[in-house]
């Protein structure tokens, strides 16, 4: 079951990113304070009045000149129209209704997607009358908001969430492992799907972005049922790959939400680039089991140290995903392809593993005895006990006398001890520290 997507669309400089940040702030998001996690995000998981969703900011495009503004705005709107379930159309009360606003509105009208008009910079009551001209857009009642002061954000979210589609349960059986393939354009996602299936089921081309749709493909191997979710392409006109690349995350987000295991594909011929870290970060932050797949290994010039050096590079570049196994293969020649599915199955099992409470506390007690918790001004953190509260990913709650004294380095130490005892290969672990109460 995937979360619906709310996209924020509008011309440059209307305050899209400010409202995006306000929505995240209102959600009181828990952000991991761990080294190596890429923070440059254009999306976040959100929740409002019990409805979970992903919110996407389509801002941040660099514009080379005035003649590029309309092209940029048009492209943003096209992408949001295609992928989003609800669109927040941002306009600026100070500027009034502009030609660029009207062009976006025409595209949105043709899309028949649910639209909420947010009139930003309504910073005081004197500006409230400025929203009325935006009725001319044809999307119903505009909502006056102020990104600078945080006014009206609740009303905006009420309107957007009300238009979200109802969640639908998927009909795959419980024993089916859902595998999403993610990666930047031209890393070989479709080729890998074809290689695993043993037949040409997906159109493959050397041109980045040629796959037109995300495709679910069920198959069975050695008695285990799988569903491959290929997130490869964007529908787009013209050669705008470089500009649109980061917006392809909207489709990847939907696939990641539905997956049990995520294959993060890396182009072995080109090596690791910053975009790879962004893409992997989506899977990590969603709490999914993950595997690095280094594709096109057949065309890499190799010696006895090449694989070792590439492995070391992945570990250094992806410090936040040291749990993820690495598979080197070639989808084209099927070199080492047989190694992949057993690792996928193993990662899925670990992702759903539940530890008995007494075993978990035995490991915790040993870890604390070897390396006691830190002290602060004479006070020592005292961890009373632990329990696993969820799977997919395994989530552990530590009950302690003062959660504020838990340093991320000591939490990481405990995580490493738990991993060593129970493996958990391929899956992140989430650890939370709560204050022990009398009821506990």
pLDDT for the residue 242:
42
Cα gap 241→213, rounded to integer Å: 16
pLDDT for the residue 257:
85
Sheet holding 430-435, edge to edge: 383-390, 395-400, 430-435
Exposure string of 59-90, with b = 16+ CB inside 10 Å and e = fewer, is bebeeeeeeebeebbbbbbbbbbbbbbbbbbb
pLDDT tens column, 63-85: 344 556 556 656 656 766 777 89
Compute CA 142 distance to the chain's CA centroid, rounded to the nearest angstrom.
30
Domain with CATH 3.40.50.300 in the chain: 5-162, 177-351
Average pLDDT over every residue of 135-151? 90
Q: CB–CB of 351/289 below 8 Å?
A: yes
Average pLDDT over every residue of 224-253? 58
CA angle 194, 195, 199 (to 5 degrees): 50
Average pLDDT over every residue of 237-251? 49
pTM greater than the 0.95 cutoff: no
Share of the chain above pLDDT 90, in %: 46
Average pLDDT over every residue of 100-117? 87
Longest CA pairwise span in the chain (Å) = 72
Cα gap 246→231, rounded to integer Å: 13
- Two tokens, residue 260: 């049990």
Average pLDDT over every residue of 177-201? 84
Question: Quick one: CATH architecture of 5-162?
Answer: 3-Layer(aba) Sandwich (3.40)
User: According to the CATH classification, is domain 357-435 in 3.30.300.20?
Assistant: yes
- The Cβ of residue 440 has, within 10 Å, a number of other Cβ atoms equal to 11
- The Cβ of residue 333 has, within 10 Å, a number of other Cβ atoms equal to 13
177-351, superfamily in CATH? P-loop containing nucleotide triphosphate hydrolases (3.40.50.300)
The three-state secondary structure class of 226 is strand
Give the CA-trace dihedral at 252, 76, 242, 45, to 10 degrees: -30
pLDDT tens column, 375-415: 887 788 999 999 999 999 999 999 999 998 998 899 999 99
Q: Which of 5-9, 253-257, 423-427, 436-440 has the highest mean pLDDT?
A: 423-427
Where does residue 238 fall: left (phi above 0), alpha (psi -120 to 50 degrees), or beta otherwise? left
Binding-site residue numbers are 10-17, 57-61, 120-123, 183-190, 230-234, 295-298
Give the CA-trace dihedral at 53, 54, 55, 60, to 10 degrees: 180
DSSP E strands, 110-164: 115-120, 143-144
Q: Which residues pair with 289 in a beta bridge?
A: 261
Binding-site residue numbers for GTP are 10-17, 57-61, 120-123, 183-190, 230-234, 295-298
Q: CB–CB of 285/311 below 8 Å?
A: no
Domain with CATH 3.30.300.20 in the chain: 357-435
């Amino acid at each position: 079951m995937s979360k619906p997507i709310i996209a924020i669309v509008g011309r440059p400089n209307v305050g899209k990113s400010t409202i995006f940040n306000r929505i995240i702030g209102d959600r009181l998001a828990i952000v991991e304070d761990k080294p190596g996690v890429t923070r440059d995000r254009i999306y976040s998981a959100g929740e409002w009045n019990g409805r979970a969703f992903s919110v996407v900011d389509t801002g941040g495009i660099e514009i080379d000149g005035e003649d590029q503004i309309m092209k940029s705005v048009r492209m943003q709107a096209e992408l949001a129209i295609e992928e989003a379930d609800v669109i927040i159309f941002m306009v600026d009360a100070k500027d009034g209704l502009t030609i660029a606003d009207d062009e976006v509105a025409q595209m949105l009208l043709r899309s028949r997607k649910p639209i909420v008009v947010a009139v930003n910079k309504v910073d005081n009551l004197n500006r409230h009358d400025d929203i009325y001209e935006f009725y001319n857009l044809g999307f119903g009642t505009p909502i006056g908001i102020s990104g600078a002061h945080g006014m009206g954000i609740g009303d905006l979210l009420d309107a957007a969430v009300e238009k979200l589609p109802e969640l639908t349960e998927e009909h795959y059986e419980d024993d089916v492992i859902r595998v999403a393939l993610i990666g930047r354009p031209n890393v070989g996602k479709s080729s890998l799907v074809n290689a695993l299936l043993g037949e040409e089921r997906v159109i493959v081309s050397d041109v980045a972005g040629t796959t037109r749709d995300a495709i679910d493909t069920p198959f069975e191997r050695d008695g285990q049922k799988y569903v491959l979710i290929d997130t490869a392409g964007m529908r787009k006109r013209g050669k705008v790959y470089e500009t649109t690349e980061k917006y392809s995350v909207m489709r990847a987000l939907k696939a990641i939400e539905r997956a049990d295991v995520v294959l993060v594909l890396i182009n072995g011929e080109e090596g690791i680039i910053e975009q790879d870290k962004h893409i992997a970060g989506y899977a990590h932050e969603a709490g999914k089991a993950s595997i690095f797949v280094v594709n096109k290994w057949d065309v890499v010039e190799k010696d006895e140290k090449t694989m070792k050096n590439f492995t070391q590079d992945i570990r250094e570049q992806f410090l936040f995903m040291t749990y993820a196994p690495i598979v080197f293969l070639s989808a084209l020649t099927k070199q080492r392809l047989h190694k992949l599915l057993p690792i996928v199955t193993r990662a899925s099992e670990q992702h759903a593993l539940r530890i008995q409470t007494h075993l978990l506390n035995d490991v915790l007690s040993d870890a604390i005895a070897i390396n006691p918790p830190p002290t602060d001004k004479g006070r020592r953190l005292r961890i009373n006990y632990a329990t696993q509260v969820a799977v997919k990913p395994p989530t552990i709650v530590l009950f302690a006398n003062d959660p504020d004294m838990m340093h991320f380095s000591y939490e990481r130490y405990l995580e490493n001890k738990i991993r060593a005892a129970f493996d958990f290969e391929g899956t992140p672990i989430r650890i939370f520290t709560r204050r022990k109460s009398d009821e506990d």
